[in-house]
Amino acid sequence: MLQFDNRSGNLGFQGRVRWTLEPGNDLFFIFGQGWVQEVGERGSDFRQQDSRLAVKAQYTFRL
């Protein structure tokens, strides 16, 4: 997902990959990237603000 806020000049991207090991057992990789818009004499540029990577594991226990 790509999102832009014109009031603050922030641009953000978030992507997610889901890997199903077995039904009910999943592994998620979530990546996020942010940029801030800077307006100068030569126009506007985007400067990298932050990067994030998260990993989530989901396990289903059945009796």
Q: How far is CA 22 from the centre of its chain?
A: 25
Terminus-to-terminus CA distance in the chain, angstroms? 38
Mean pLDDT value of segment 34-44? 84
Q: Is the pLDDT of residue 43 over 80?
A: no
Closest by Cα among 55, 5, 3 to 31: 55
pLDDT attached to residue 32: 97
- Pick the more confident residue, 42 or 61: 61
More confident residue, 41 or 21: 21
The pTM (predicted TM-score) of the whole model is: 0.73
Q: State the average pLDDT over residues 31-42.
A: 89
**Residue located via tokens 């506007």:** 44
Model confidence at 16, pLDDT cuts 50, 70, 90, reads: very high
Task: Give Cα separations from 15 to 31, 32, 37, 43, 58 (angstroms).
Answer: 5, 7, 21, 28, 18
